[in-house]
Structure 1
């Protein structure tokens, strides 16, 4: 199972794949709702843990001894940028055999520092090691919100992705793949619930996570992401066109099937600049309540439609009442895409 991203204020990351609706007020874009799997590349190798090696009967961790902390990022070995874990393994083996230390550039608490790391021969594994568990990417699942039908720029999530270990912002490129919902962990008071999903092998977008902002993830997808019959178009609503009342939320509960479910917009908050919490919504659909218990982890980014217009996307759920949550206005998400297109 893939890891889920942690979210500020229970902003559960729920990336959606879009169904057609427009990329600015009045234009149409493809609306989402499909589950996707994403991976974001970190700037180097993230240190996620220590392990000990045995040498001369003693147990110790070379990385910890060198002053490298859990949560640090290893950026370079001997002036060579670290791209994959294979880069680490190769250098450790070579320097270990040469009985030399590695000059490591480390990002520690947002500051770069240099340390000397000496690989040690592990008598049990019978190879040179540095005692650090490393990760080269952060992965998870969610829901896409919309796609521009002409440029195939997309918007998803409706909130920022944070690193689950440090809670720091991830501003990296990444990949987007198809995902399948295989089970539902129902939400209840005090328990947010989640979509249990698996990520497929089909790459829907690679190296196209161009922006990770407070209003979602944005980039460019392949034109083959959705078959023509699944491309529904809807105009993007202006905030002045949105009102309390019935609406539809598009999301996946089974496999890859996107379904509309009834929700009610309880409150509409006046905003004259981009903010995250634009609407208070409540799930009222009996089927969605029965099967999911309300808003789940993995629904972030699920598009909300009112009067045939894309009005917003789910971003937060209330832990004490999973039937209610917040949504961002689609207008603000679309503006993020327009910013990318102008560059």
Structure 2
């Protein structure tokens, strides 16, 4: 346990701590390091000079987590919930008149199309076929979308227009249902078979909007090259997927801190045979760092 009060040492050394459930029960800062026998919540009494009550607080004791460091190259394949709107285009009908029914209905780039006429949509081809079929039948589309800004669901009705160029009915949208790329695994927890990777959220390349994860998986990858980053243009890893022999798992979360999920088996520990402890947020301090090459 660490009780750094950010006070001058001559004053901090006079605070007495009393915690039932640790050994020793009573201690002063710097005199000893208390150890909790079991995880849980503990009541802490703080007294100045061991006499004057200063603070009463509750602390949570969590078990130590140990993980296998990552560093392995992985291929990432993500399928979004619904299909994301990544572009809009005008439709030229048989009379040469230009239309953009989706834009007129208020659909914006980054919005996610979830349902059409009550039917859940999952792929680009499915959306294309539904629009064309309803257009041939002379019917409008009742669409449910998630707004890119508020994340709330909204509904709109759009009538498909026959496109003279593509010879099918369209509404003036380009959508995407999946994305793929390569990245780096951060850690693997052998106790839970959980992993973390990337260290950032996966966003759509065109709209820069985070992808609402429906399902995804990771496999082993081989890095073929590095594109050096420049001002206004981030760097990029270039690689190929190697398949599921070495690394195979699911993606369950796409967050600002990276992607997380489960692996089917433990990956090869490229640093050795042991695990390393995970520091709590309050334990991370500025200082020297060590880079491991392999």
Q: Could you tell me which of 58, 61, 64 is aligned with 2:97? A: 58
For residue 114 of structure 2, the aligned residue among 53, 71, 75 is 75
1-structure distance, mates of 2:227, 2:90:
37
Match status 1:105 vs 2:105: no
Q: Which residue of 2 aligns with 1:248?
A: 291
Cα distance per residue 1:166-216 (max 9 Å; x no partner): 55444523221322211123457887533222344549545x322333433
Q: Deviations over 1:106-157 (max 9, x none)?
A: 2223232211122222222212222211011243332111112243211123
CA distance in 1, matches of 2:237, 2:264: 25
Q: Secondary structure at the match of 1:136?
A: strand
Considering Cα pairs closer than 8 Å and 6+ residues apart, tell me whether 1 or 2 has the greater RCO. Answer: 1
CA distance 1:174–1:33, shift in 2 (3 Å): same
Q: SS of 1:47's equivalent? A: strand
After superposition, residues 285-300 of structure 1 pair within 5 angstroms as none
- How many Å apart are 1:228 and its aligned residue? 7.8
Greater mean alpha carbon deviation, residues 143-152 or residues 77-86: 143-152
Q: Equivalent residues in 2 for 1:175-214 (5 A)?
A: 175-186=217-228, 193-202=235-244, 204-205=247-248, 208-214=250-256
Distance 1:32 1:83, change over 3 A: same
Hey, what does 1:30 align to over in structure 2? 68
Distance 1:114 1:190 in 2: 37
Q: Give the direction of change, closer, same or farther, for the CA distance of 1:232–1:130 in structure 2 (3 Å limit).
A: farther
- Asked if the contact 1:31–1:233 (Cα under 8 Å) also holds between the matched residues in 2, the reply is no
Q: TM-score, normalised by structure 1?
A: 0.56
CA distance in 1, matches of 2:97, 2:233: 45
Distance of aligned partners of 1:177 and 1:184 in 2 relative to their CA distance in 1, 3 Å threshold: same
CA distance in 1, matches of 2:269, 2:290: 25
Per the alignment, in what secondary structure is the counterpart of residue 88 of structure 1? helix
149, 152, 156: which one pairs with 2:190?
A: 149
After superposition, the C-alpha distances for 1:264-300 in whole angstroms (9 at most, x for unaligned) are xxxxxxxxxxxxxxxxxxxxxxxxxxxxxxxxxxxxx
> Which consecutive unaligned segments of at least 5 residues does structure 2 have?
1-61
Distance 1:143 1:227 in 2: 14
1:219 equivalent in alignment to 2:257: no
Secondary structure (helix, strand or coil) at the match of 2:72 reads: strand
**Could you tell me how far apart the structure 2 residues matched to 1:82 and 1:27 are?**
40
Cα contact 2:69–2:271 (8 A) shared by 1:
no
Q: Check the 8 A contact 2:226/2:238 in 1, yes or no.
A: yes
Q: Supply the distance in 1 between the matched residues of 2:126 and 2:273 (Cα, whole angstroms).
A: 44
**Range moving further from structure 2, 151-160 or 76-85:** 151-160
* C-alpha separation in 2, matches of 1:209 and 1:105: 26
Alpha-carbon spacing, 1:246–1:70, altered in 2? closer, same or farther (3 Å): closer
* CA distance 1:189–1:230, shift in 2 (3 Å): same
Cross-structure match for 1:274: none
Over aligned residue pairs, what C-alpha RMSD do you find? 3.2
| Aligned pairs (5 A) from 1:270-285 | none
For 1:238 and 1:69, the matched residues in 2 are separated by 42
Query: What SS does the aligned partner of 2:144 have?
Result: strand
- State the distance in 2 between where 1:38 and 1:145 align: 14
Q: Secondary structure at the match of 2:71?
A: strand
**Structure with greater helix percent:** 1
SS of equivalent residue, structure 2 residue 238: strand
Which of 115, 120, 132 matches 1:93? 132
Give the structure 2 partner of residue 120 of structure 1: 161
Distance 2:232 2:92 in 1: 44
